């Protein structure tokens, strides 16, 4: 699973989780406060939110580079 230490991997997980929670809250604020025409913002936020999961939790780069 890569060369980093266990502690560094865990810290990375917490960092990614923090980013995801922040995006989720921004998304909620946009969805509840921007009453009309909010879909472009939400679409961008959803893509931004999905990327950290794909990159850091699902290790999508392994497909190209092997072990991260």
Partner 1 sequence: MAATTHQEQRLDLHRLGLWMFIFSESFLFLALLSTRYYLQGVQRPAEVNQPLGLAISMVLLLSSLSAYRGETCAAYGDQRGFRRNILFTMGLGLLFLVGVAVEWYEGFHFFPPSAGYGTVFFTLTGFHAFHVLTGLLVLAAVLVRGRKVQYGPGNYWGVEGAVKYWHFVDVAWVFIYPTLYLVS
DSSP code per residue over 39-63: HHHHHHHHHHHHHHIIIIIS-TTHH
Closest CA to 12 of 23, 1, 27: 1
- The DSSP symbol for 37 reads S
- Residues 24-63 binding partner 1 (CB under 8 A) are 24, 27-28, 30-32, 35-36, 38-39, 42-43, 45-46, 49-50, 53-54, 56-58, 60, 62-63
Positions that interact with partner 1 (CB under 8 A):
1, 6, 9-10, 13-14, 16-17, 20-21, 24, 27-28, 30-32, 35-36, 38-39, 42-43, 45-46, 49-50, 53-54, 56-58, 60, 62-63, 66
């Amino acid at each position: 699973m890569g060369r980093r230490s266990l502690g560094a991997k865990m810290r990375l997980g917490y960092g990614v989780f923090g980013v995801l929670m922040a995006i989720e809250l921004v998304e909620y604020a946009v969805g509840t406060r921007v009453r009309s025409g909010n879909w472009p913002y939400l679409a961008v936020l959803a893509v931004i939110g999905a990327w950290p999961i794909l990159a850091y939790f699902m290790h999508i780069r392994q497909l190209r580079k092997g072990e991260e």
